[in-house]
Chain A
Amino acid sequence: MATGTAAWLPFARAAAIGWMPVASCPMPLAPRDNSKKKDELIMLNVSGRRFQTWRTTLDRYPDTLLGSSEKDFFYNEEAKEYFFDRDPDVFRSILNFYRTGKLHYPRQECISAYDEELTFFGIIPEIIGDCCYEEYKDRKRENLERLQDDQEDNKDMKLPNMTIRETMWRAFENPHTSTMALVFYYVTGFFIAISVITNVVETVPCGATPHHKNMPCGERYTVAFFCMDTACVMIFTVEYLLRLFAAPSRYRFMRSVMSIIDVVAILPYYIGLVMSNNEDVSGAFVTLRVFRVFRIFKFSRHSQGLRILGYTLKSCASELGFLLFSLTMAIIIFATVMFYAEKGSSSSKFTSIPASFWYTIVTMTTLGYGDMVPKTIAGKIFGSICSLSGVLVIALPVPVIVSNFSRIYHQNQRADKRRAQKKTRQARIRIAKSGSANAFLASKHHGLLNELLELTGTEEDEQKLIRNTSLLESQHHHLLHCLEKTTVGGLKHPMLAQASLAHEFVDEHMFEQNCLEEALQSYPSRSPSVSSQGSCTICCCGSRSTSRNTALHIQSSQLAVHPSSRSNLNLRAEDGSRVNCKGGQVTTAIISLPSPPSLAPHREGRHHPHHPTTTTIRPSHRGEHPRSPRASRPPQAPHPPASSRCPPSDRSLSVDRNF
């Protein structure tokens, strides 16, 4: 019900007096309004701006947020008001909707922001008043188009697993994606140009020879031109077949305009091959050569402007049709008039009405060849009228076509600009995002360091290490950590002890590296790990080696089957902490480059620099740490926990000694 009518309901109910005496049975009971709430003022605080309205105003639309009990969720007890953390400017129009029953769309608002507010307050956009509805719909459509453009660009993204066919298709459609595609693009372009130039040069007179008179080059150097033609057609055929093979939907590809042009371009050659022996149809064969000129349309794959032109003509079909129709009408009218006007004059070229068509067309388009001119006075008068009207008729539909073309062209320009900007925008966004991911990874160091420090027990160091991580961040990190702890591999096979490790977050770089290594490396024996231990020691000794080799070695030793070696590695890395190992805690081996956290004693209080690309955390052992906030590990393969628990620290030390 519209706004005011809610207020007029008492009136309508009172007007029922007219039915009562007429009715033959008593009226039903009226509903009692038990909640006899006095109409009160409601205070709505929207981001600090206060709006007040009557409760009944809001109750007019009970299926929206403000009209239903949903607003109780936003009630602020202390201030006795409803608080909404939303945009106060847009809220103005929303509240006006309750007051007047008409929803207006403020033109200066962004369409998606407005939509969001409407959705939040539970108002459907369809009830926007007629005054603003068109504008709203236009803006919404524009926005949608823009979003669609952006989505289309995602096709440039390389999917990790693409079949040969898909890769080929992608290369064909987007030449800038790979070098091969670019090469192919230019080669085909070159051959199209060659083919067209050949066709043109074929007909140029080449100069007289002793045997023959002036003849076109095509007939003089038949073999050469034939070879050129063959080469071009072969390239085109190969291209067409490749495209056909790679197309995701062959049927749709065969129906597309470009493929039809391709076929028409190469077909005359094959038909010519087949028919060359038969002299009778050589005339038709010659005609077929005309179709070779269609090869020039193949350039539209290479030129966006051409494509836009084609698209414009398609979209302006109605205007073009109108132009054609009106021209035809005018031509027939004037041709008839001219014919009858010139009938009297002798030696007149206007022999019939169709013959006069030529004169009319030439005059209306202001060409004026002069091969046919009227001689009588009446003819001259009508001729001048014809040329004047021609200008008008042609000038009318042309601006429409031009404006269409301009609109589409600019749209395309905008799309290209957006695409170009998008890359930089996304790069910047990625840096910002990876900043937060690295914050997590970095904070894990800190978490470890915290643990280590708990082991060492200095308070100030802890305080120093608690950086600017906000509560929100630390809670998020805790969540990620819990996830890590949860994702334990299924198998507890001792040979595959690494499967029983908790997964951890690594950054992209190291992930790729891991994949690469796992693919390339076999599990090394122990001795390399010894050497790696050595190098690891070097690493642990505080040298900020940025060499990735260290990581590789460490990784390789990680991949070693023997569990104890891994724990050794861990222990090795945790040199300093071993000494201060309190009961039951240990082994948080995180080896990172360039600054391993194991150097706790060396680097207390030192801030870990942010290394966006090389921060590393690999699958590692995690011991149980009673005080750590992390979830304790679920029971795992027997070996690793045993070796990592502290009571057999002497055992670990003994293992150390093995090295």
Chain B
Amino acid sequence: MDGKRLDTISERVDAAAVSAPDSIEDELELSTVRHRPEGLEQLEAQTRFSRKELQILYRGFKNECPSGVVNEDTFKEIYAQFFPQGDASTYAHFLFNAFDTDHNGSLSFEDFVMGLSILLRGTVQEKLNWAFNLYDINKDGYITKEEMLDIMKAIYDMMGKCTYPVLKEETPRQHVEVFFQKMDKNKDGVVTIDEFIDCCQNDENIMRSMHIFENVL
């Protein structure tokens, strides 16, 4: 974290807030957090994107989030615009947590770009690893049925009300059952990372679907 120049005024204020709680501090807290990413070379080294690609990504990122960081609400808003029919907020929440590797509540450009690098330019193993990370809500290394159910419900929420055939209450649950039947080899009620990766790699459909990441950038 040496390269990060974090000019978080709010952080400084928090430190000083104990000594002098004033209305001025409140105003300062409201001011924007500014974040500058590491240099282009460093990012180039850390990710698998070319210089030009990084430039394009950063321009789009900074346009939408001029302050340099995305908080969860903005993230949800942005993601929801792609799915106007349904409610993408739950899934966006899980995504946010998956992208926010250092769990500081805000997504910086580095987090964003690292995640994208894995998803778009990583090996199949890395991608599946990332997906497992997404499903594992509490990051304990196991996917339980409840976690999977949450994820499934979130995905079905994105579809919205107007679907054909009509979405029924137990559809996500049934889907989770199917999933667990497929993934849970030793039937212990949880899916571990090895089970997950093995299963996916042996699954033709999933492997074939990996191509959707090819021409994204």
Chain A residues engaging chain B, CB cutoff 8 angstroms: 1-27, 29-33, 38-39, 54, 56, 99-100
Q: Is the CB of B120 within 8 A of A8?
A: no
Residues in B with CB closer than 8 Å to A54 are: 59
Can you pick out 12 interface pairs between chain A and chain B where the beta carbons lie within 8 Å of each other? A1-B81, A4-B78, A8-B61, A12-B82, A13-B216, A14-B213, A17-B134, A18-B91, A24-B178, A30-B215, A33-B215, A54-B59
* Contact of A17 with B131 in the complex, beta carbons under 8 Å: yes
Complex Cα distance, B198 from A21, in Å, reads 12
Q: Which residue of A lies closest to B64 (CB)?
A: A4
How close is A31's CB to chain B, nearest CB, in angstroms? Answer: 8
Q: How many A-B residue contacts, CB cutoff 8 Å?
A: 115
Please determine whether B209 and A20 come into contact, CB atoms closer than 8 angstroms.
yes
Q: Tell me the bound Cα distance from A356 to B183 in angstroms.
A: 90
Among A4, A6, A11, A27: residue with most chain B CB under 10 A: A11
Q: A4-B78, A7-B59, A20-B206 are in contact. Are A15 and B215 (CB under 8 A)?
A: no
B208 within 8 A of A: yes
Interface string of B169-204 (1 = CB under 8 A from A): 000000100110001000000000000100010001
CB nearest neighbor in B for A3: B63
Give a binary string over B113-137; 1 marks a CB under 8 Å from any A CB, 0 the rest: 0011001100000011011001100
B64 touches A7 (CB 8 A): yes
Q: Return chain B residues, CB-CB under 8 Å to A22.
A: 151-152, 155, 175, 179
Taking CB atoms, residues of chain B closer than 8 Å to A33 are 215
Tell whether, in the assembled complex, residue B217 and residue A10 are in contact, meaning their CB atoms are under 8 Å apart.
Answer: yes
Provided the pairs A3-B63, A8-B60, A19-B155 are in contact, do residues A30 and B196 lie with their beta carbons within 8 angstroms? no
Q: By the criterion CB–CB under 8 Å, are B64 and A8 in contact?
A: yes
A4 partner residues in chain B, CB cutoff 8 A: 60, 63-65, 78
Whether A20 lies near B131 (C-beta < 8 A) is: yes
Taking a contact as CB atoms under 8 Å apart, the answer to whether A30 and B214 are in contact is yes
Residue of A nearest to B82 (CB): A12
Interface-centre pick from B61, B64, B127 (highest chain A CB count, 10 A): B64
Q: Which residues of B contact A5 (CB under 8 A)?
A: 64, 78, 81-82
Determine the residue in chain B with the shortest Cβ distance to A27: B209
Partner of A14, one of B63, B78, B119: B119
In the complex, whether B142 has a CB less than 8 A from a CB of chain A is no
A20 to B130, CA, bound (A): 12
Contacts of A3 in B (CB 8 A): 63-64
Q: A12-B82, A30-B214 are in contact. Are A18 and B95 (CB under 8 A)?
A: yes
If A18-B91, A18-B95, A18-B131 are given as contacts, then 7 extra A-B residue pairs at C-beta distance below 8 Å, sorted by A number, are A7-B59, A11-B112, A20-B210, A20-B212, A21-B131, A27-B211, A56-B56
- At the interface, yes or no: B205 with Cβ under 8 Å from chain A? yes
Q: Which residues of B contact A12 (CB under 8 A)?
A: 79, 82
A-side contacts of B206, CB under 8 Å: 20-21, 23, 26
Max chain A C-beta neighbours (<10 A), residue from B61, B155, B208, B209: B209
Structural contact, A27 and B212, CB atoms closer than 8 A: yes
Q: Once bound together, how far apart are the Cα atoms of A21 and B179, in whole Å?
A: 8
B56: chain A residues within 8 A (beta carbon)? 7, 39, 56
Q: Which residue of the partner chain B has the closest CB to A29?
A: B211
Q: What 1/0 mask marks residues of chain B from 43 to 71 whose CB sits below 8 Å from any chain A CB?
A: 00000000010001101110111000000
Closest partner residue, chain A, to B128 (CB atom): A21
A479 to chain B, nearest CB (A): 51
Within 8 Å CB of B115, what residues of A?
Answer: 14
Contact of B212 among A13, A18, A38 (CB under 8 A): A13
Contact of A15 (CB < 8 Å), options: B63, B64, B95, B183:
B95
* Chain A residues closer than 8 Å to B175, beta-carbon distance: 22
Tell me whether B63 and A21 are in contact (CB under 8 A).
no
Q: CB-CB < 8 A to B209: which residues of A? A: 20, 23, 26-27
Q: Tell me if A24 and B216 are in contact (CB < 8 A).
A: no
Encoded as 1 (CB less than 8 Å from any A CB) or 0, chain B from 71 to 112 comes to 000000011011000000001001100000000000000001
A contact residues around B216 at 8 Å (CB) = 10, 13-14, 30
Closest beta carbon of chain A to B213's beta carbon, Å:
7
User: What distance in Å separates the Cβ of A6 from its nearest Cβ neighbour in chain B?
Assistant: 8
Which residue of chain B lies nearest to A8 when distances are taken between CB atoms in the complex? B78
Known A-B contacts A4-B64, A17-B131, A18-B151; the reply to A23 vs B81 at CB < 8 A is: no
Q: Which residue from B120, B155, B208 sits with its C-beta under 8 Å from A18?
A: B155
Q: How far is it, in angstroms, between the C-alpha of A650 and the C-alpha of B128 when the chains are bound?
A: 108
